[in-house]
Structure 1
Amino acid sequence: MATTPKGRALGIALRKVRKECGITLRELASMIGRHSGEISRWENAERPLTPERVAQILTALGVNGERFQEIVALAYDSKNPPWVATTLPEREQQLSALIEFEQTATLITAVAPLLVPGLLQDRGYIQAIMSAGGVPPSEIPTRIAIRVGRRDAITRAQPVRFVGLIGEAVLHQVVGSRKVMAQQLRHLGEMNGRPNVSLRVIPYKSGWHPALEGAFTLIDSDNATPIVQLENRRSTLLLHEEDDVSAYQEAIEQLQSAALNEHDSIKLISGVFERLEKNRDT
């Protein structure tokens, strides 16, 4: 069965509650009269769950109140797209699912016309974005840690392949300061040196291209439905229906035709970096 974003989030939530309670799969199976293998498949989103079954599991684990309602809500329409997350609990659930999709992916393609893709951002750049974006200062260290931690998907021993298609504007938009941008461009060069990472720049002269419609990320996996993530200031959208995903796959093909090759992209990034380094204190 294809794994959907909401189905993945539901399985993650149930596994988290079970582990918080110190209950093993076998113990939970005994409590609700099911087989431990079946529960494992539920937690891995390999089998669908009804709201009634979710309620049974949560009741057995002693979960009630607001958390009970939030998790049961994931079971409704877990197969149906799109998943628009607007509330804080929904966005946290969605982020958990997204991180697991990233960790189990075979290929992540990030299209970013204006900002460096999240998995390629360094700490100074992240902090500059969050500080200017109005994130409460007390929350910034935790959010930076989460974003940097997600980078493990492309830096670990057996990393996910990553393709970044970035607009030329990304290189010239000063985020934080010239010093911050110089370090971020240095970081891009270092990341591109990894054998699993490919970075290509879409030049100004390319004319109209699909990235001008907005940033998005396509996550491909051998054991889950491909998903597309779109994000704005107030909400996040995850798509997994075939027609929706196909539209973004076609957009990526167009962008790959419009982008500079990897060698010329790094040459362009290096040139901007050198100018920033020379003038970063002015």
Structure 2
Amino acid sequence: MAHVRRDLDPSASPLDYYGYELRRRRDSAGLTLNELGAIIFCTGSLVGQIECAQKVPTREFSERVDAALGTEGFFSGLVGLVLQSQLPSWFQPYAAMEAKATYISTYQCQVVYGLLQTEEYARVLLSVGHPDEVDEQVAARLERQRILRREVPPPLWVVLSEAVLHQQVGSSEIMREQLEYLLHFAKNPWVQIQVLPFSVGQHPGMMGSFNLLRFDRDPDLFYADGYDQGSMTANPQVIRERSVGYARLQACALSPEDSAELIGRVMEDRYGHQPGPDRSTVA
């Protein structure tokens, strides 16, 4: 596919700046689109689309470009800003604060928290609201998860309604992989997952999912999901009330150990591989 070479305004957006710099530095290296593509294991067409700001680069692409052009981490550093810019505009302020938080608490009543979603689970969720931007949205969500892989990540405390385990997102295989991924965090000292069982009955989280962010020097933040966008506040009274409510949720929820046991049980009972009609059990 031929690409019309168009001039980009590098100040228009992080994506335009990335494309502008990629073209400039590729030209300086004396490489054609196809030649750079061959070096970084992709098509010249993809390189051209990224240079024209028609495609969003991935972190892997950026790391390979840095290695190929000797740009010393320039594109690897820039891609985080590019991917963050692909998030919904109303969500970007929260994502920026989430990345700076020193402690994250979340209650989720419908879906797994974004930082703990597998790529396929996220892809199914995001295809509902963004069918034309799924790849970009998934890449942006996975980029958010990088904070958990820092040398010293922020502690993350998650309370999940048991409904999250039963609400099927995608295929049974996708759900099984997602629940297995949650169990993977059982050995992570920075992540604690508790399940709020159905048996609790009414509880302080019945108004919906919410997050609490704490910082070293900035005021705490409260974020609540909405139908089409969320809301965020640092109002001290709201923070106080929601913090108490979250503590009550933690007290009502199963322990992390019992929660892992329940997650494993639902994973096997609801999403386990069932024997097909052509299989037989041999005693």
Q: Does the pair score TM above 0.5?
A: yes
Return closer, same or farther for 1:124/1:92 CA change in 2, 3 Å cut-off.
Answer: closer
CA contact (8 A) 2:90 2:229 kept: no
Alignment partners' CA distance in 2, 1:253 and 1:176:
32
Return closer, same or farther for 1:258/1:281 CA change in 2, 3 Å cut-off.
Answer: farther
Alignment partners' CA distance in 2, 1:128 and 1:225:
35
Return closer, same or farther for 1:265/1:207 CA change in 2, 3 Å cut-off.
Answer: same
Residue 121 in structure 1 maps to residue 117 in structure 2:
yes
From 182, 186, 189, give the equivalent of 2:180.
186
Return closer, same or farther for 1:172/1:161 CA change in 2, 3 Å cut-off.
Answer: same
- Could you list the structure 1 runs, at least 4 aligned residues long, displaced by more than 6 angstroms after superposition: none
> Which residue matches 1:231?
225
TM-superposed deviation, 1:268: 0.5
> Which residue matches 2:272?
277
> Which residue matches 2:198?
204
Residue 252 in structure 1 maps to residue 260 in structure 2:
no
CA contact (8 A) 1:179 1:280 kept: no
What SS is found at the alignment partner of 2:202?
Answer: coil
CA contact (8 A) 1:113 1:215 kept: yes
TM-superposed deviation, 1:99: 2.3
Alignment partners' CA distance in 1, 2:276 and 2:237:
49
Alignment partners' CA distance in 1, 2:219 and 2:274:
46
* CA offsets 1:199-235 (integer angstroms, 9 cap, x no match): 0000111111122110001111112111111122222
* CA offsets 1:102-151 (integer angstroms, 9 cap, x no match): 222111011001211111111111111122x2422x30011011111111
Return closer, same or farther for 1:114/1:279 CA change in 2, 3 Å cut-off.
Answer: farther
> Which residue matches 2:208?
214
Q: Percent identity?
A: 27
> Which residue matches 2:98?
102
> Which residue matches 2:134?
140
Highest relative contact order (Cα 8 Å, sep 6+), 1 or 2? 1
> Which residue matches 1:159?
153
Report which stretch shifted further, 238-247 or 225-234. Answer: 225-234
What SS is found at the alignment partner of 1:268?
Answer: helix
Alignment partners' CA distance in 1, 2:180 and 2:275:
13
Alignment partners' CA distance in 2, 1:163 and 1:248:
15
> Which residue matches 2:162?
168
**Higher Cα radius of gyration:** 2
CA contact (8 A) 2:119 2:138 kept: yes
Return closer, same or farther for 1:246/1:178 CA change in 2, 3 Å cut-off.
Answer: same
CA contact (8 A) 1:182 1:280 kept: no
Return closer, same or farther for 1:152/1:281 CA change in 2, 3 Å cut-off.
Answer: farther
Structure 2 unmatched runs, 5+ = 1-10, 18-84, 278-283
Alignment partners' CA distance in 2, 1:256 and 1:208:
14
Alignment partners' CA distance in 2, 1:278 and 1:238:
41
Alignment partners' CA distance in 2, 1:257 and 1:203:
12
Alignment partners' CA distance in 1, 2:171 and 2:123:
11
CA contact (8 A) 1:129 1:175 kept: yes
* CA offsets 1:44-68 (integer angstroms, 9 cap, x no match): xxxxxxxxxxxxxxxxxxxxxxxxx
> Which residue matches 1:262?
256
Report which stretch shifted further, 222-231 or 98-107. Answer: 98-107
Alignment partners' CA distance in 2, 1:147 and 1:92:
11
